[in-house]
Structure formats: C-alpha cells, structure tokens
Amino acid sequence: MPRSLLIISRQSPWSGPSAREALDVVLAGGAFDLPVGLLFLDDGVFQLAAKQDARALQQKDLSANLQALPMFGVDDLFVCGDSAAERGLDPKVLSLEEAQVLSTGEITALIDRYDQVITI
C-alpha cells in the first residue's frame, strides 16, 4: 500500500518559486499515481484568488497547472478556511472549485491522516 504524502503550500504565488516548486512535487506524485494531497495554508491561499494576472509580473501563470491537478489524478485538494477569511478571500469563490474548505480542527485531522508531509 503506497504511502500518502501531503504537501502544504504556504507561499503566495508572487513571492518566488515556492508555489510552483510545491506544485511540481504534487504533479510529479500524481504522474506516478501516488496518493498525494495538497493543502493551501496561510499565504498559500492567495494562489487561489480570482482574476490574478501573472503577465503583469512576467511570471508563469500557475492557474493552468492548478486546474490540471485532477487530470494528474490529484483530487485531494484543501484550503484553510481561516487563512482565506483572514486574507479577505471568500472560500466559496476560489479559482479551484475542487478544493475543500477546512477548519483548523479539520486540518489537524488531515495532517494526521497522511503518512508523510512536506510544508513548503
């Protein structure tokens, strides 16, 4: 039985390569058919804000990669509701519809469920 891996992505998409490099770990896991999950926490929730414009910063737009996650077999997508609310984001209007909004208690349980975790 393969070990499950949770990636916790805490950085905004505009603070450097962290958001992309976290996503690359998830996509690689999906490509190898491994049980991986992705949680957006703290500033990581900004990756899911609507109507962002990567071109303004001459940066790669990650939204296509994010939308591709289910195609890579990654369906376990989560967002910290408190992180979103604190940052003025309506959890119901995030760019990744498949992402489940979790309370902090649910996040504790989520981390518990996975065999391994990487918090980037």
In the complex, which residues of this chain contact other proteins (CB under 8 A)?
Answer: 2-3, 5, 8, 10, 17-18, 21, 24-25, 28-29, 31-32, 34, 41-42, 82, 104, 107-108, 111-120
Nearer to other proteins, 32 or 50 (CB): 32
The nearest distance, CB 27 to other proteins, in angstroms, is 8
Residue ranges with strand state E in 32-75:
36-40
Q: Which is nearer to other proteins, 52 or 83 (CB)?
A: 83
Following CA atoms 85, 97, 49, 79 in sequence, which dihedral angle do they give, to the nearest 10 degrees? 40
Output 21 or 61, the one with its CB closest to other proteins. Answer: 21
φ and ψ at residue 116, rounded to 5 degrees: -135, 160
69, 77 contact by CB (below 8 A): yes
The H or E element containing residue 84 is: helix 81-86
- Write down the residue that tokens 């519809």 correspond to: 97
CB of 21 to other proteins, least distance (A): 6
Q: How far is the CB of 43 from other proteins (least distance, A)?
A: 9
